[in-house]
Amino acid sequence: MSEPVTFESLDLSPAILKAVEELGYQSPSEIQAQCIPLLLERKDVLGLAQTGTGKTAAFALPLLNNVDASVKQPQILVLTPTRELALQVAEAFNQYAKYTKGVEVLALYGGQSYGVQLSALRRGAQIIVATPGRLIDHINRKTIDLSDLKALVLDEADEMLRMGFIDDVESIMEKTPVEKQTCLFSATMPKQIQSICSKYLDNAEQVKITPRNSTVDTIEQVYWRATTHKNKAIVRFLEAEDYDASIVFVRTRNDTVQLAELLEREGFSAAPLNGDMNQQARERTVERLKSGLLDIVIATDVAARGLDVDRLSLVINYDIPQDSEAYVHRIGRTGRAGRKGKAILFVKGNERYLLRNIMRHTRSDIEQVELPNAKVVEQKRIEALQGKLSLALDHKDIEFFSEVAQGMAEKLELSQTELAAALLCLAQQQSPLKVQEIQVQRERRERDGNRDGNRERRGERGERGERKGNARRNTGPMDTYRIEVGREHGVQVKNIVGAIANEADISSKFIGEIRLFDEHSTVQLPQDMPADTLSHFQSVYICQRPMKMTKSTHPADQGNGGERRGGERRSGGRDERRFEGRNEGRGDRKRSFKDPRGDKRDNKRKERGEISFS
């Protein structure tokens, strides 16, 4: 029987082992035990593992071990899809390098001042963690020298593909030394990632961590059949559940603010986390969450990428994600490193097909739960008040208050029980101990049930047809929407995709056919878009014109005559091809709502007036 693997047996330096021990790491995870020896030998590695398996330490510890602290030039470059993940990885490197003298770590990402980054680069940093867009800016400005680079890591490569950064990643890789160690980590292996591996990795060792399903066993997953009372329901769930801190996922940036304000009015310590916040505000929010000054964050998918907070034990999907991979990443914010977590999914009647897609993709049974009833919430409120009363008994002036209470009881001719009841009534504040049930309209519920049954039957027929004919990917029912921007205004397909994906948190895989006409355009989007999202699109500008999006039933908008995205594709320029044809039958090619060219390209587009958000 082989000896168990320990960090001490992996030939890491004493300084790194001291930092690891101080962080409380007891034994290497599976991916760490396999990757660390390979990377210490400077071999190329392809790591296939889902989020939360410890892959950051799997590459950070051995690469840090190989750094020459006397050389004040970048030796390790880690590329990440988001600035949140870049900050997380940089923080991990700093923790591991705590006792390694002379090693500096620098995170380069959009949203931070160039002056700060340029000063740090001039001082010298051996480890660079960067997002593709900002790194390309520094390369083009010639403010970073990668000639001494010894190792390159692509972290969450499939996510970079989904967000449209792969072209930028390849451009960066072409500008790095040929003789270097290359590591690629990804949860999935779409064809384009396979192509990068064959092109840039040299005899790579593959490390594959295969879980029983694509979600973590330590996470309890349930769903609630949502009604029109979602706002009241989330208050109920947050009161009824036992959690340390929670993250609530919504579809749009505007929703993060509105829901945070609602929860604050209900007495919760809540704050939004979205892409409209500057980096300093985002970092401050995360620090408040980590320190316990904040208990709930309401976030969009992109804003939460890379968020790793030990306190997070509850994830609520207030809006169901259109993408099953996004669901996996969402609930992966909890249940890490063996800790227990819970994920609650709100599913409206017309979203049952998305629930089925998620269950099929994750190979998980997600059980239905009922809305916590009034008795459950009452008991929770009573327990909370009991806790406050127990603490009050230790107050230094408790004898004074006892005398006051006795005097009040005598003067008002009240028994002790009556006085206590009156004081409890006053102490309720905004959380009354007596809770009213939330009334759900029975007719609506039955109507939704009938509709779901019909959709399920249609969905089953559609799935059978897809398996038999291997035809179109089933993305659910679609509606056609009209926008008042067309070819005469200079609009292109990519402008429409970027605006919609960015503002509605819809992966471009779920943006259907786009037709460009002379004075307007049409786009197919998932059925039953929320009214507030549709309203929000009235203030979104493309090519210096408001979209003025409306739902269309006009036959001309359904017919031929416009430039099309998907299906019979027009052979346009390079940028159009990057958007076209990716939503049909290619579930692994997912794009998000960030501009595929990164922060610099996004700023230039805004300056030219191609796209702006009011």
295: in domain:
yes
Q: What are the pLDDT digits (tens) for 505-536?
A: 666 667 888 898 888 999 988 877 777 778 87
CB 259 within 8 Å of CB 233:
no
DSSP 8-class letter at 215: S
How many Å apart are CA 474 and CA 512, to the nearest integer? 11
CATH number at residue 328: 3.40.50.300
453: in domain:
no
2: in domain:
no
pLDDT at site 468: 31
Work out the average pLDDT over 297-324: 85
pLDDT at site 127: 96
447: in domain:
no
CA angle 352/353/354 to nearest 5° reads 90
355: in domain:
yes
Does one domain contain both 69 and 35?
A: yes
How many Å apart are CA 362 and CA 217, to the nearest integer? 11
Of 352, 372, 392, the position where a domain reaches its end is 372
Does one domain contain both 368 and 386?
A: no
Tell me the backbone φ, ψ of residue 116, rounded to 5 degrees: -60, -45
Does one domain contain both 354 and 392?
A: no
Q: 49 or 206: which carries more pLDDT confidence?
A: 206
433: in domain:
no
Does one domain contain both 170 and 301?
A: no
Q: Which amino acid is at 409?
A: A
Instruction: Show the tokens assigned to 613.
Output: 């958000």
Q: What are the pLDDT digits (tens) for 176-222?
A: 999 999 999 988 888 888 999 999 999 999 998 865 455 567 789 99
Q: Which of 98, 102, 108, 52 is nearest to 77 (CA)?
A: 108
pLDDT at site 585: 33
Query: What three-state secondary structure class fits 85?
Result: helix
The number of residues in the chain equals 614
Residue 26 domain boundaries: 8-208
Does one domain contain both 196 and 301?
A: no
**CA dist 475 to 111, 250, 351, 357, Å?**
34, 20, 11, 9
Of 327, 343, 372, the position where a domain reaches its end is 372
When divided into structural domains, the chain yields a total of: 4
Does one domain contain both 113 and 259?
A: no
How many Å apart are CA 314 and CA 297, to the nearest integer? 11
Q: What are the pLDDT digits (tens) for 7-42?
A: 988 989 999 999 998 887 878 888 899 999 999 999
DSSP 8-class letter at 108: E
454: in domain:
no
User: Over the chain, what is the mean pLDDT?
Assistant: 78
Q: What are the pLDDT digits (tens) for 54-88?
A: 788 999 999 999 999 999 999 999 999 888 788 88
Residue that the structure tokens 């609930």 belong to:
331
What's the distance, CA 176 to chain centroid? Answer: 30
pTM value > 0.75: no
Q: What are the pLDDT digits (tens) for 153-163?
A: 999 888 888 77
Work out the average pLDDT over 399-411: 81
Does one domain contain both 279 and 381?
A: no
Q: Which of 254, 451, 453, 234 is nearest to 346 (CA)?
A: 234
How many Å apart are CA 316 and CA 527, to the nearest integer? 22
Does one domain contain both 200 and 242?
A: no
Does one domain contain both 410 and 356?
A: no
Taking residue 200's Cβ as centre, other Cβ atoms within 10 Å add up to 20
Does one domain contain both 241 and 350?
A: yes
pLDDT at site 164: 81
441: in domain:
no
